[in-house]
Amino acid sequence: MLVVLWVPLLVSRSYSILDIGAGLTGTAAAVSILFWLARQRTLTIDSRQRFIETIPGLAWTAEDDGQISSMNSHMREFLRISDGSLVVPPSSIHPEDRQKTFDLWMQKGGLGKPGTHRLVGPDGRHHWFRSVVQPVREADGMTNWTWGTFIDIGDLKAAEEALRTSEENLRGILDHIPGQISTADANGIHDYCNQIAETFYGHSYHELNGMGFTRFVHPDDLDGYISEGWEHIKKGIPIDRAVRLLRHDGVYRWFRIRINPAFDAEGKVTRWYGLHSDIDDEVRTLEDLQQAQEKLAQASAFAGLAELAASIAHEVNQPLSAVVTNSEACQLWLTATPPNLERAITSSDRVVRDAKEAADVVRRVRELFAQKVPHKGNISINEVIEDVVDLIRKKYGGRGLIVNTDLDLQAPRIFADRIQIQQVVFNLSRNGVEAMFANGSEPMTLDIRTQYADDTVVVEVKDNGVGLGDSHQVFEPFFTTKTDGMGMGLSICRSIVDAHNGRLWAKAGPSRGAIFAFELPVE
């Protein structure tokens, strides 16, 4: 539009090049003057000089043989060319750009085509320029002369370099994130994946994008992946699911796929960003753990059966021994001359009593392992201890055992299973006695005491035997220090006390021996 306006003026008035350049600035001036020059083929050297002085940037003119005929002051100052000289030192041009720059000036191709060149400025640094060369032709098409300019594009190059560096940094970050990064358009069509993904699938970026990604999903997971994925895409909600993806070597691995949408100002989905995290090792570990738990459960069941059998054998041994002893006594009284029927009847009554006690022991132990509620009633802990002490004295009295009791007469009755509590006291007492078998000349003394305090009744059984090793390990099933023991007594005692909401513990004696104690709540 500017050219159309200038042409009539040039015809009606005598305007100089300087007049024209003064009316316009920058690129607009250069373009307008160019069209005017196309009609002034016989412009003098001086006029050309005045013309290029108006051009912002480094500008020059050249004859049809490529010889530079003039250059503006900007070009002389930048390239440090003295007045009167038209020679550009080769050192002013970057070595890699010298040939194409000289070819440009010598009109060896590239006329009318922009190019990029690096020139050395007054600061000694190379600056980037974009070149534009335009020929001025005769009517027959022959070039009369040419003019050209170098426009400083240093800021543009710096911006391009910064952008390139930023893109490389971003690509480096994405390619080294420990996971597969992917993006998709608003319709869910993949359009990017990072190097981790390409390495995993063994395919290039183009092969992985579009709809081709679905061929890497395990057939059993594909229908759910596609149906759920499209549903989420339509609704614009994040995707989070586990699928198996095919690795380049034909192995499927579990991945957790998380994909989030990005929205525009109107709330419409513009893109999707996904992270695929390899969770195959975790899934395999969980599967192995589940299998181990199943095997452990089976082993625990077998161990429970073994523990039950050992417990029954351990607990029923004492009443069965009493049955045998009383049966032999009954037989002895019946075979006497004359038979002592009264004593035989007494022994047979004891056989019946001990047999019933053995049956009760079996039943209570089974209920204990079946976690059934004990048969509780109001009992006196002191009476239970007195019964046990009587049995202990009869059983071990011949070994010189001394049993001392210190029973708190203020202890109230407690709500408990008499048979089970009796088992606990008897087992603790028997263990204490057997721990003193190695005392030698040291007297065997067993002290049993009760104490009522803070709504609980505490029972202590103290011996002066060999003492304790690990006060916690002694309660573990099958742990024993006896050559003929099964290691079930204390484990059963703890189970009984726990079933009564009580607590059982052990500690070393003041000087020697051990103290076993338990407490039961008073209800």
Mean pLDDT by 10 residues, the chain (523 residues): 30 33 42 48 68 84 80 89 86 88 68 78 90 77 78 86 84 82 86 85 71 80 85 88 90 92 92 91 85 65 52 65 78 83 82 76 62 73 88 78 90 88 87 83 88 90 81 58 55 84 87 89 83
Residue 203: what pLDDT?
Answer: 76
Residue 119, amino acid:
L
Pick from 276, 294, 274: which is nearest to 286 by CA?
Answer: 294
Q: What pLDDT, on a 0 to 100 scale, did the predictor assign at position 181? A: 87
Give Rg (Cα) of the chain.
53
Q: Which 3 state secondary structure label does DSSP give 482?
A: coil
Q: How far is CA 231 from the centre of its chain?
A: 28
Q: Given this model, what pLDDT does residue 206 score?
A: 66
Element (H, E) at 243: strand 239-246
At 297 the pLDDT is 57
Helices then strands, counting H and E runs in the chain, come out as 15, 17
**What pLDDT sits at residue 312?**
61
Tokens of 102: 């000289």
How far is the C-alpha of 449 from the C-alpha of 267, rounded, in Å? 80
| Amino acid type, 45 | I
Q: What gap in Å lies between CA 15 and CA 39, rounded to an integer? A: 14
d(CA 20, CA 13): 12
Q: How high is the pLDDT of residue 9? A: 29
The answer to whether the beta carbons of residues 311 and 365 sit under 8 Å apart is yes
In whole angstroms, what is the distance from residue 485 CA to residue 304 CA? Answer: 18
Q: What is the largest CA-CA distance in the chain?
A: 171
Provide the pLDDT for residue 472.
Answer: 62
**Encoded amino acid at 358, one letter:** A
- Do the beta carbons of residue 501 and residue 450 sit within 8 Å? no
List beta partners, residue 192. 183
Specify whether the CB–CB gap between 149 and 233 falls below 8 A.
no
CB crowding 421-440: b at 16 or more within 10 Å, else e: bbbbbbbbbbbbbbbbeebe
Q: Is 267 left (phi over 0), alpha (psi -120 to 50) or beta?
A: left
Whether the model clears a pTM of 0.75, i.e. scores above it, the answer is no
Residue with tokens 């001086």: 46
